[in-house]
Structure 1
Amino acid sequence: MSITLALLLAAQVTAQADATPPDQATPVDSQAEAGRLGTAQQGGGDIVVTARRRVETVQTVPIAISVIGGQALAETGAYNVNRLTQLQPTLQFYSTNPRNSAANIRGLGAPFGLTNDGIEQGVGIYVDQVYYSRIASATFDFTDTERIEVLRGPQGTLYGKNTTAGAINVYTRAPSFTPEARIELTTGNLEFVQAKASVSGPLVSDKLALRLSASVTRRDGTIHNVVTGRNLNAQDNQSLRGQLLWKPTETLDLTLSGDFNNQNPDCCVQYYARVGATQRPTNRQYAALAAAQGYRVPSTDPFDRVTDVDTPLQAKQRLGGASLVGNLDLGAATITSVSAWRFWDWDPSNDRDFIGLPVTTVSANPSQQEQYSQELRIASNGKRRFDYVLGAFYFHQTIDTQGLQVQGRSASAFLLNPTSAGGRNPATLDGLTSRNTIGFKNTSAALFGKLTWHVTDRLQIAPGLRLNYDKKDGDYVSVVTNGTGTPLTADQRGVLAPQSYQPKFDNWNLSGDVTAAYEVADDIHAYATYARSYKSGGINLSGLPLDAANTPILSSATVKPEKVNHYELGLKTQFLDRRVTLNLAGFWTEISDYQATVTNGQLGVLRGYLANAGKVRTRGIEFDSAFRPTSRFSVYANGAYTDAKYVRFVDAPCPPELSGGTTAAAGQAASAPGTPGGISPQNCDISGQRLPGISKWAFSYGAQYSLPASVGDLQGSVYLGYDGSYRSTFSSNPSASAYTNINGYALSNFRLGFKADDGLNVFGWLRNAFDKKYFELLALQSGSTGLVVGQPGDPRTYGITVSKSF
């Protein structure tokens, strides 16, 4: 933290004598203005953003960007990253628990599957300019949020950490020198209770201001465990944030922030969704295995929302940190320093066999993560012939993980061939235990900058460069015991193999972009962008695949960097006296050495490992539109067509219908999909298939109508609002499978309320109004049994929210 203070105070002394008044609002004031405008009705007024590290209107920024104000977040119920996807068609978010969460933009960002700490995320998450290294550390409830900016496409020449797919910028409300307070209370079905409050004002003098905010969210689970009587996939979140703003002069401000978040819900469960035929012999597929154990799931209809998983579930996490952000206005430019420290402690318990049999009785990977970051940049003020942003960034992260996996008495039946002696004996795998000790150090440093040349009053050309260095060091040790103190058998090593390796990666790379923007008319702006970007290489920290002798394949310990070529054309327009906004963007992105999560033919593999696919391509068209025909009525519609495919991936994991049989010898043909006891290919060529998790079509849309009204002495307006979203069919498996396709679905949300002129807002809400039954994710039970498990989306919910600003 002392870096910020020393640099800015030193510069302040130098500049004090001849400092000139800035020709724009200070960064702190501009953020407050952006928040006020950002909550205005769509289709009217200018929305101010700082996406390019200077204050601009969203319509003049040559970037595909969407802005959601704090009021819109509250009224639509988008109180975390997951719920943003219903408002942003090109944003995808997948989560089986907080740690195993991934955010993608335009289908890119993180490989689909269980999280591997050894690689970077392609979508950067920033909260008040502080980079959050893992999407898991951003799975908190939005509290006292001013606005959220979602930037699409590579942003590495403007932001500290390289972001090859886009960035999500969360801005909280800044401390105010005018006393103010806000409170928001919500209650609903499923025993949902959420309370948010904030207070701000000056301290001691007019140079020091404080802001405190807090939130609590609790909700009963949506899935009932018939064994324990508990409702799973609940919510139990608490957060606290404090900010102290010191403004000793008109040109210098320093903001010290701290936050703490605690979550401890009964979460997270996936359970029986359906069964598909694999190439295992019939007596080794799920139906026969369950019958042989005398087992039946409570229901084969997943939307009965019942399960009997027999391992206690836990998704406990503590996360927080501190930051010091300083801005020094020199007149012609502003120097900004962002110093930050963050931590994330994860304490889980999972049921990774997904049923009520003791196949895997313990699956937990507690993890402790810590990061330090320092960003220093200078950005020009005002519109000049040449505008610029220059910056330096340093980041260091450590992760310590203690993994534990224990097999139970049913593991032998599910994971071993019954024709072998070991496969017939439940004791073979009962008590087989893997204790994993995983260490990781990640260091990154970068120089970045972007120059904007105003060739004419209407034409600007903006090139940018980034020099980046990444270094990763890992240590993976897996100690496997069978509980009897005897040497491991071949059957046991095939399920859980001892491993010890120390992967390393380091690399320099140079990337850049160039944007040409042209103001066709006062309210028509066009732009074209080319970016050459890189996503750092990584190391495997979830264990390595095994060869035929059940020995780890050490050549799989590292993965190469992704190389990105990105092209984009955009048009931003407003017309009919700015009552209509229509923005269009077309993009084409190609990635070589795409980092994918894959598996091998092991029956006992629970976690995938990382490998490089040859090449992927995503292309599409997006639109954002809003129309406000009168002051009482506004509508919006956003949409995206995304065509994302593997261009070349010749050695991919096979889908379940081609897995589980005898592995084909060289030159031997594979059996037809779903042939019991068939021949399975060693791997599959999925070139030309769609990337997982991505819908070709996605839309969000809505409207609001209001009428003047009074309630007693309160003057205000009554309003009716609707928000809808649609996603077409997408695959929930890295290799497309008929068993794991998630059908397209549409969701509808309504709200009816009264908004008073004095800041009171009372509204009732109905979400998933038509109780649509849909899956957020589908996954496979390990061992090619054919069991497909799912995570249903929330059912219909309803409630009431009361908020007041003072």
Structure 2
Amino acid sequence: MSFKKIRSRPPLWPLLVLGYACSDGHAQTELPTVTVTANKQTQTLEALPASVTVFKAHALDAAGASSLETLEQMTPGLAFQPFGQSGIHAPVMRGLTANFFSFSSSTLLLVDGVPTLMAQGYDDRLLGIDRIEVLHGPQSTLYGRNAESGVINIYSRLPGNTPRSMVSAELGSRDLHSLRFDLSRPLIADTLSASVAGELFSQDGFIDNLATTQKEDTRERHHLKLALRWTPGQQTDAILRYTQQDYRDGGALWGSPAAARYTVNSGTPSWNKSRGRSISLDVTHEFSSGVHLRSITARNDFLDRVLQDTDFKPQDTLHIGRDHHFRNLSQELRLEGKFGLAQWLAGFYTDQDDHDLLNEQKLPMGLSKSMATLTGHSTAVFTHWTIPLAERWDMVAGARIERNLEQFQPAASKQLATNSMRWTQATPKLALQYQLTPNSQMYASMTEGFRAGGFNVFTPAANYAAFQPESVRSLEVGIKGILMQRRLRYAAAWYAMNVRDMQVQQMPVPGLVYITNASSARSSGAEFELDYLLGQGWQIQAGLGLNHTRFNTFRDGSNIYDGHRNPFAPDINGHASLRYEAPQGWYAQAMLTGTGKVYLDAANRYSRNGYGLLNLAAGTRVGAFEISAYVNNLANRQYDALGFQNGIVTVYSPPRQMGLKLVWRM
């Protein structure tokens, strides 16, 4: 038996990327077929009635994408809140986002089936990646809570019978040193194989601490991915995975709005010693009837350990500290098969949260520490059907019923009262698609999504008030296809979303942060993607996201925010790139990215201006080696977030970055 006969995850190719290079260094003559698993079933991109952006490993390498946040430069409608701290990313998809203190996210992150449900630990260094699928719009029917506005699904390369080796070394600005590797070997032919991927990364900071004469924001990270694959027969495939992420950083990219740029005068040490761990078992089995079983069991742990000065003065007047431990245990079981001409899927999902929280707040009147436990449980059943209606018409229908329990207990003492809230959510989906040609289709869909509710765990003055789940109803119309002898791929989607009980973070004074529900909001927009092979080694790609997210009605005490923009949601973002692949094996590429202005608060007082970045890269291949050089942010544009944390913090944008990279592949 050979691994080639085993049913495996299909290869995916980029729909929207910064350049693509064939593995042999030759330019493409036509765009390959794109296969996706966005609906947890294998199908071509042109058959999927939804907006999805797909990246293959080759495309990520061409883009120099080595971290999760680089996806926002290549994905219309996706952004991340400016936060300036490693290991924490709050995504913004189609104008919807969740804040750090809500302990939830509006866009779900899945790494090989392991879910991350909040901004803490929302990170991946893209080691040993096979593909990434970014799903736009509500995905709660199949993916549940915290997939309210989308999903980022990351798939690692599988170990197998064929050995592979990759080692890269990178040197760059501010004494950047990076070593990455991805190795895979068979242990027992056709039966057992293993892979390991990792990264050692360090870089000096760019923020000068005048009090210590040191750089405040040094970065050091260690990451590791291990996989063991067992294939006892043609019908069974089991993969055991382990990942870890270690951060040994200095302070966040923060400074005072009143100080000179890139300087602090801080006598309080700032550091980030966070750590992430996950382990999962992914098993697939094909029965003789043709029905497929999939089981994913996962445990995800993240230690959020931070001390951060917030007044940036020699005396310790203001600082924040966190020592949180987040744990999530999840189990998904699903079956899929065919019923006549229809494809069906049915599944069960359950998870358990168990979080220990310790928050430290230093104010002029003294130091306070708040301890709490936050636990939760969710259980869901779901189904998804693709039903042919006529020769060119298909209907896609699905539904999910999910039951959630959230419990919060202030302080460690079991004698204090426990607050709890429960809710049951039904999230249906219905789509119609019409096949215009074998390689193009148009579709219309109606979907619903929701995000978990919770408690204001660090606001005892408000009796730790609960905030309700946020829900959204979305209408989307799209068209996608391939033209010109498979040299041009295009996609366009228009959407309108009504948001109920929108969760918004408020910070009326320093030291007081809480989440409240706006009455309603509306988000509408469009996304466009293009991938075009011009011929003779030239390729152009472009993407554009337009969004208009505004509060309909929002009263918070005496404040009226009707018509204001949702914080952190840009009205526009996009990119355009041009790449040339020479027959001799060298290449050059240029990419221009841009993002519109975002506001940092519901009152729309503080903001980060819009900006555009120009990134350049060039390289050559000689046998198994590739050497390249790059410049990111060529014009050294500044796009600081001015007024973070209710006006007391500036989040600095990083300066121009240059580097050299040497890669060896076998």
Q: Same fold (TM over 0.5)?
A: yes
The answer to whether structure 1 residue 558 and structure 2 residue 424 are counterparts is no
Which residue, 739, 748, 758 being the options, matches 2:614? 748
The answer to whether structure 1 residue 226 and structure 2 residue 210 are counterparts is yes
- Structure 2 distance, partners of 1:735, 1:354, is 25
Q: Secondary structure of the residue that 2:296 maps to in structure 1?
A: strand
- Kept in 1, the 8 Å contact 2:268–2:315? The answer is no
Tell me by how many angstroms 1:40 deviates. Answer: 6.0
Q: Secondary structure of the residue that 1:66 maps to in structure 2?
A: strand
| Cα RMSD, aligned residues only | 2.4
Q: Which residue of 2 aligns with 1:610?
A: 515
Higher helix share: 1
1:231-242 correspondence runs (5 A): 231-242=215-226
- Kept in 1, the 8 Å contact 2:253–2:652? The answer is no
> What are structure 1's unaligned runs of at least 5 residues?
1-23, 275-296, 412-428, 480-499, 545-551, 652-681, 710-716, 782-786
Which residue, 604, 626, 641 being the options, matches 2:546? 641
Tell me by how many angstroms 1:329 deviates. Answer: 1.5
- Kept in 1, the 8 Å contact 2:96–2:569? The answer is no
Q: What is the percentage of aligned positions where both structures have the same residue?
A: 21
Judged with a 3 Å threshold, the aligned counterparts in structure 2 of structure 1 residues 152 and 25 are, in CA distance, closer, same or farther, namely: farther
- Kept in 2, the 8 Å contact 1:503–1:540? The answer is no
Judged with a 3 Å threshold, the aligned counterparts in structure 2 of structure 1 residues 503 and 748 are, in CA distance, closer, same or farther, namely: same
Judged with a 3 Å threshold, the aligned counterparts in structure 2 of structure 1 residues 529 and 309 are, in CA distance, closer, same or farther, namely: same
Larger Rg: 1
Tell me by how many angstroms 1:780 deviates. Answer: 4.3
The answer to whether structure 1 residue 89 and structure 2 residue 76 are counterparts is yes
Q: Which residue of 1 aligns with 2:653?
A: 793
Q: Which residue of 1 aligns with 2:480?
A: 572
One-letter identity of the residue aligned with 2:229: L
Deviation readout 1:213-265 (Å, 9 max, x if unpaired):
11111111121111112213332111111111110111111001111221111
Deviation readout 1:508-539 (Å, 9 max, x if unpaired):
12121101111011222111110133323222
- Structure 2 distance, partners of 1:506, 1:99, is 30
The answer to whether structure 1 residue 522 and structure 2 residue 479 are counterparts is no
Higher strand share: 2
Q: Secondary structure of the residue that 1:206 maps to in structure 2?
A: coil
Which residue, 105, 125, 132 being the options, matches 2:93? 105
Tell me by how many angstroms 1:565 deviates. Answer: 1.1
- Structure 2 distance, partners of 1:355, 1:733, is 25
- Structure 2 distance, partners of 1:335, 1:692, is 42
Tell me by how many angstroms 1:352 deviates. Answer: 2.3
- Structure 2 distance, partners of 1:335, 1:134, is 29
- Kept in 2, the 8 Å contact 1:775–1:792? The answer is yes
- Structure 1 distance, partners of 2:354, 2:312, is 31
One-letter identity of the residue aligned with 1:576: M
- Kept in 2, the 8 Å contact 1:624–1:639? The answer is yes
- Structure 2 distance, partners of 1:203, 1:99, is 34
Tell me by how many angstroms 1:157 deviates. Answer: 2.1
- Kept in 2, the 8 Å contact 1:125–1:135? The answer is no
1:393-412 correspondence runs (5 A): 393-407=349-363, 411=364
Tell me by how many angstroms 1:503 deviates. Answer: 2.4
- Kept in 1, the 8 Å contact 2:90–2:122? The answer is no
Q: Which residue of 1 aligns with 2:491?
A: 583
Query: How many residues are treated as equivalent by the alignment?
Result: 652
Q: Secondary structure of the residue that 1:115 maps to in structure 2?
A: helix
Judged with a 3 Å threshold, the aligned counterparts in structure 2 of structure 1 residues 143 and 321 are, in CA distance, closer, same or farther, namely: same
Tell me by how many angstroms 1:71 deviates. Answer: 2.4
Which residue, 126, 149, 154 being the options, matches 1:142? 126
- Scaled by the length of structure 2, the TM-score of the pair is 0.93
Q: Which residue of 1 aligns with 2:278?
A: 321
Which residue, 46, 62, 69 being the options, matches 2:33? 46
Which residue, 337, 342, 359 being the options, matches 1:386? 342
Judged with a 3 Å threshold, the aligned counterparts in structure 2 of structure 1 residues 162 and 225 are, in CA distance, closer, same or farther, namely: closer
- Structure 1 distance, partners of 2:35, 2:94, is 24
Tell me by how many angstroms 1:399 deviates. Answer: 0.8
Q: Which residue of 2 aligns with 1:286?
A: none
- Structure 1 distance, partners of 2:244, 2:555, is 46
Tell me by how many angstroms 1:760 deviates. Answer: 2.7
- Kept in 2, the 8 Å contact 1:372–1:396? The answer is yes
The answer to whether structure 1 residue 726 and structure 2 residue 594 are counterparts is yes
Q: Secondary structure of the residue that 1:84 maps to in structure 2?
A: helix
- Greater displacement, 187-196 / 787-796: 787-796
- Kept in 2, the 8 Å contact 1:255–1:325? The answer is yes
- Structure 1 distance, partners of 2:172, 2:654, is 13
Judged with a 3 Å threshold, the aligned counterparts in structure 2 of structure 1 residues 459 and 688 are, in CA distance, closer, same or farther, namely: same
The answer to whether structure 1 residue 34 and structure 2 residue 20 are counterparts is no
Tell me by how many angstroms 1:109 deviates. Answer: 3.2
Which residue, 628, 644, 649 being the options, matches 1:763? 628
- Structure 2 distance, partners of 1:144, 1:244, is 14
- Kept in 2, the 8 Å contact 1:244–1:257? The answer is yes
Deviation readout 1:313-353 (Å, 9 max, x if unpaired):
11111111211000112252211000011211121101123
One-letter identity of the residue aligned with 1:231: K
- Structure 2 distance, partners of 1:607, 1:264, is 28
- Structure 1 distance, partners of 2:340, 2:84, is 49
Q: Which residue of 2 aligns with 1:697?
A: 572
The answer to whether structure 1 residue 467 and structure 2 residue 401 are counterparts is yes
The answer to whether structure 1 residue 805 and structure 2 residue 655 are counterparts is no
Q: Which residue of 1 aligns with 2:48?
A: 61
Tell me by how many angstroms 1:631 deviates. Answer: 4.5
Judged with a 3 Å threshold, the aligned counterparts in structure 2 of structure 1 residues 578 and 259 are, in CA distance, closer, same or farther, namely: same
- Structure 2 distance, partners of 1:233, 1:140, is 20
- Kept in 1, the 8 Å contact 2:76–2:544? The answer is yes
Tell me by how many angstroms 1:36 deviates. Answer: 9.7
Q: Which residue of 2 aligns with 1:679?
A: none
- Kept in 2, the 8 Å contact 1:175–1:211? The answer is yes
- Kept in 2, the 8 Å contact 1:101–1:115? The answer is no
Q: Which residue of 2 aligns with 1:623?
A: 528
1:296-695 correspondence runs (5 A): 297=259, 299=260, 302=261, 305-330=262-287, 332-360=290-318, 362-380=319-337, 385-407=341-363, 411=364, 429=365, 432-477=366-411, 502-544=418-460, 552-554=461-463, 557-600=465-508, 603=509, 605-651=510-556, 683-695=558-570
- Structure 2 distance, partners of 1:134, 1:686, is 26
- Kept in 2, the 8 Å contact 1:107–1:694? The answer is yes
Which residue, 164, 167, 181 being the options, matches 1:183? 167
- Scaled by the length of structure 1, the TM-score of the pair is 0.77
- Structure 1 distance, partners of 2:6, 2:392, is 26
Judged with a 3 Å threshold, the aligned counterparts in structure 2 of structure 1 residues 316 and 750 are, in CA distance, closer, same or farther, namely: same
1:123-138 correspondence runs (5 A): 123-138=107-122
